[in-house]
């Protein structure tokens, strides 16, 4: 049988199940990554599993989110992460070494391998021909302990790229075009696989820009073949020995196919407040800009910043604009400096940030009140920038450079001829900011500051769930709505009691108090509930507050898994019209929970009206056991 890339990797790593679409299978994970905002909890969970050393080929702990140290919490967490990495045999990328996805692409990724990461943008590695999947920290901890990662066999969507990008049009425009066509729900349950003659002109960093934002489609993963462009990238990284040609078989079967003609693609922009609200820049007219931010794991490569510098060369940014630049990795930072590119950026008035996530997660550089920020990042959800009423537009580096110069959103083609970009030089490779683990870490003492609190453990799901509806939510609720990021909240990621105070704070500041008063609760939501980041805290903190059920029209993949992992029952309306009949403070009852869940349909009784609501759980037998046990940690302990 002629296989696509996705099925080749799944077959090669299959541990449990069969490759039958819509069924659950378990696969072996070759590599894992964590970042500091999710890593503290992941390593507390790994410790709770009782192993001495990770069983993956390579696991890497990165510090790239909580690098703004305006209190002791982040610095303490970094010490915990470094000591935990040494204890369990994990590589440690120190603060300042760069953003996990770009560094992993440069220094650790291998074509044809699997990567599980506690960050939703882990599919960035697909630009190198890996199958990268984002997950909650508990799933990553189980994988590090040698357990399989379970997923539903995905549909595979082929995106056929034809033609060649024209001057001023970039890889960001390709993924924005796909978001325009498919929306933020269009990739759910799918792996996006790229092919076609248009690949020949796309470098690995450009491919990584595209696979990075596959997360915004809701896709399980995105992947490119490993070809000559991949070999050249790895050769420049001094890692050519890990390269192998890895392509889909001729005549490979796909579930669907889309063609994008690169010849006619134009500069695009995602307008507030969703990555799929995509328009041609020429269509939106001039919009005055207050801030431009270039970098992040999406567009923080050498070439991205080289283009920005050449556009700004011998010029100064518009008087109204604050331009901030965050190279994606220390390697990029060093090589920009050696080639004089950093000097051009500084001379133009750019403010140079460290190689970290920073503004992308609201960790510094928040826009002014009501301000317009043009960013080369991947998300523009309301409030994510750190300013509740900011208007965030997503573009590529070319359009960002034009906005910085003109002071308004501008089609970069209006700047004139495309600048000449010198070929990327032979790179300076310096891995001294990555610490290899000791051969035997059993004697390493893990450092625990006062912000490292014990891991909360759920109880088994009760046989009768009787609880009131605490919130009724609309479609496309993000994990930023459920548990916001930013400099106030992110440092509390290892302190669930403290961080639970912020659950649903952007929607209802009194939610946490109401949940504690109720003792238990149910959340009702619309479509695509839990889209966005992989932050398992958006399930763990609600669990801590007593949430037992989330009843929605549909769920985002990672958040659905996180709810199950922490023993919260995710249910989907059988008849979506029932959503309209529920209101805050309604009392709902589910009786004989374990017996009812033997079938896919569960009956929920409305205590006030006496009406019955039918809901589906669509959980495999394994996942049923997980949620009934009170979560994956309880289930794993019981099974070992």
In whole angstroms, give the CA distance from residue 246 to residue 252. 13
C-beta pairs of 601-606 under 8 Å, 24+ apart in sequence: 601/574, 602/571, 604/551, 604/571, 606/581, 606/582
Considering only CA atoms, which of 589, 570, 501, 567 is closest in space to residue 529? Answer: 570
Question: Is the sign of the CA dihedral 13, 18, 20, 21 positive or negative?
Answer: negative
pLDDT at 640 over 70: no
> Residue 638: its pLDDT value, please?
81
pTM above 0.75, yes or no: yes
Question: How does DSSP assign 347-383, residue by residue?
Answer: HTTPEEPPSS-GGGGTSS-PPPTT-EEEESSS---TT
Averaged pLDDT, 247-272: 97
In whole angstroms, give the CA distance from residue 318 to residue 400. 12
Considering only CA atoms, which of 572, 560, 493 is closest in space to residue 530? Answer: 560
Distances (CA, A) of 119 to 115, 125, 133, 136, 430: 11, 12, 9, 7, 25
In whole angstroms, give the CA distance from residue 227 to residue 202. 11
Considering only CA atoms, which of 116, 124, 33, 46 is closest in space to residue 88? Answer: 46
Strands across the sheet with 190-195, in order?
221-223, 190-195, 155-162, 256-261
Helix orientation angle between 137-144 and 557-565, rounded to the nearest 10 degrees = 70
The per-residue pLDDT for range 564-604, each reduced to its tens digit, is 999 999 999 999 999 999 999 999 999 999 999 999 999 99
The per-residue pLDDT for range 272-330, each reduced to its tens digit, is 999 999 999 999 978 999 999 999 999 999 999 999 999 999 999 999 999 999 999 99
Residue 329 contacts residue 103 (beta carbons within 8 Å): yes
Residue 297 contacts residue 357 (beta carbons within 8 Å): yes
Q: How does DSSP classify residue 141?
A: H
Averaged pLDDT, 444-468: 92
Q: How does DSSP classify residue 168?
A: T
Cis peptide leading into 273, omega within 30 of 0? yes
Considering only CA atoms, which of 8, 71, 62 is closest in space to residue 39? Answer: 62
Element (H, E) at 246: none
Radius of gyration from C-alpha coordinates of the chain: 24
Q: pLDDT band for position 461 (50/70/90)?
A: very high
Residue 96: left if φ>0, alpha if ψ -120 to 50, beta else—which one? left
The per-residue pLDDT for range 13-23, each reduced to its tens digit, is 999 999 998 89
Q: Which domains does the chain have, with CATH numbers?
A: 13-264 (3.30.499.10), 268-412 (3.30.499.10), 465-639 (3.20.19.10)
CA dihedral 12, 15, 18, 19 (to 10 degrees): -40
Distances (CA, A) of 414 to 234, 267, 308, 409, 417: 35, 11, 15, 11, 9
Average pLDDT, the chain: 95
Considering only CA atoms, which of 382, 281, 389, 368 is closest in space to residue 320? Answer: 368
Question: How does DSSP assign 319-350, residue by residue?
Answer: TT-EEEEE-SBHHHHHHHHHTTHHHHHHHTTP
Q: pLDDT band for position 492 (50/70/90)?
A: confident
In whole angstroms, give the CA distance from residue 358 to residue 362. 7
Contact residues for 115 (Cβ-Cβ < 8 A; gap 6+): 29, 30, 31, 32, 33, 104, 109, 122, 125, 130, 131, 132, 133
The per-residue pLDDT for range 174-201, each reduced to its tens digit, is 999 999 999 999 999 999 999 999 999 9
Strands across the sheet with 322-326, in order?
278-280, 268-270, 391-394, 372-375, 291-295, 322-326, 351-352
How much of the chain, in percent, has pLDDT values that exceed 90? 87
In whole angstroms, give the CA distance from residue 374 to residue 230. 30
């Amino acid at each position: 049988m002629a296989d696509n890339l996705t099925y080749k990797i799944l077959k090669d790593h299959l541990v449990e199940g069969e490759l039958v679409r819509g069924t659950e299978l378990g696969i072996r994970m070759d590599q894992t990554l964590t970042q500091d905002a999710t890593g503290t909890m992941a390593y507390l969970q790994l410790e709770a599993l009782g192993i001495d050393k990770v069983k993956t080929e390579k696991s890497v702990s990165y510090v790239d989110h909580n690098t703004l140290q305006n209190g002791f919490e982040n610095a303490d967490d970094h010490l915990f992460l470094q000591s935990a990495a040494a204890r369990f045999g994990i590589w440690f990328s120190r603060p300042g070494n760069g953003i996990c996805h770009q560094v992993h692409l440069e220094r650790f990724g291998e074509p044809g391998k699997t990567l599980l990461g506690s960050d939703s943008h882990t599919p960035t590695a697909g630009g190198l021909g890996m199958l990268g999947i984002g997950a909650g920290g508990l799933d990553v901890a189980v994988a590090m302990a040698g357990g399989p990662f379970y997923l539903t066999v995905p549909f595979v969507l082929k995106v056929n790229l034809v033609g060649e990008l024209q001057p001023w049009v970039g890889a960001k425009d390709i993924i924005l075009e796909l978001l325009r066509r498919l929306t933020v729900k269009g990739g759910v349950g799918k792996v996006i696989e790229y092919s076609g003659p248009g690949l020949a002109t796309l470098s690995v960093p450009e491919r990584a820009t595209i696979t990075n934002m596959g997360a915004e489609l809701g896709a399980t993963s995105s992947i490119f073949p490993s070809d000559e462009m991949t070999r050249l990238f790895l050769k420049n990284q001094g890692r050519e020995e890990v390269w192998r040609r890895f392509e889909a078989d001729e005549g490979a079967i796909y579930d669907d196919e889309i063609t994008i003609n690169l010849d006619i693609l134009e500069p695009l922009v995602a307008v507030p407040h969703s990555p799929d609200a995509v328009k041609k820049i020429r269509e939106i007219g001039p919009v005055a800009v207050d801030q431009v931010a270039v970098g992040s794991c999406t567009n923080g490569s050498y070439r991205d910043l080289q283009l920005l510098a050449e556009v700004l060369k011998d010029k100064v940014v518009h008087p109204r604009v604050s331009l901030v630049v965050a190279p994606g990795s220390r390697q990029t930072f060093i090589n920009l400096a050696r080639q004089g590119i950093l000097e051009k950026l500084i001379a133009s008035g750019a403010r140079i940030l460290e190689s970290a996530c920073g503004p992308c997660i609201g960790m510094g550089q928040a826009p002014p009140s009501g301000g317009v920020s043009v960013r080369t990042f991947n998300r523009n959800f309301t409030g994510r920038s750190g300013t509740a009423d900011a208007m965030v537009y997503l573009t590529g580096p070319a359009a960002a450079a034009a906005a910085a110069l003109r002071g308004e959103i501008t089609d970069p083609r209006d700047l004139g001829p495309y600048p000449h970009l010198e070929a990327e030089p032979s790179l300076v490779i310096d891995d001294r900011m990555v610490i290899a683990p000791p051969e035997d870490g059993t004697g390493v003492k893990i450092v625990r500051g006062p912000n490292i609190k014990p891991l909360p453990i759920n109880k088994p799901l009760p046989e009768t769930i009787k609880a009131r509806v605490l919130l009724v939510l609309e479609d496309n609720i993000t994990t930023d709505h459920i548990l916001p990021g930013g400099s106030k909240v992110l440092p509390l990621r290892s302190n669930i009691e403290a961080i639970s105070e912020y659950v649903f704070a952007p929607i209802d500041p009194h939610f946490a108090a109401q949940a504690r008063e109720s003792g238990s609760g149910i959340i009702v939501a619309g479509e695509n509930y839990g889209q966005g980041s992989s932050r398992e805290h958006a399930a763990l903190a609600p669990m801590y507050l007593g949430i037992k059920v989330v009843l929605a029209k549909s769920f985002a993949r990672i958040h659905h898994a996180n709810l199950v992992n922490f023993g919260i029952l995710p249910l989907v309306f059988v008849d979506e019209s029932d959503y309209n009949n529920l209101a805050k403070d309604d009392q709902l009852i589910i009786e004989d929970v374990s017996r009812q869940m033997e079938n896919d349909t569960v009956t929920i009784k409305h205590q006030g009206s006496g009406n019955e609501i039918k809901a589906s759980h669509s959980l495999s037998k394994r996942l049923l056991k997980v949620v009934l046990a009170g979560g994956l940690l309880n289930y794993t302990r019981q099974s070992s």
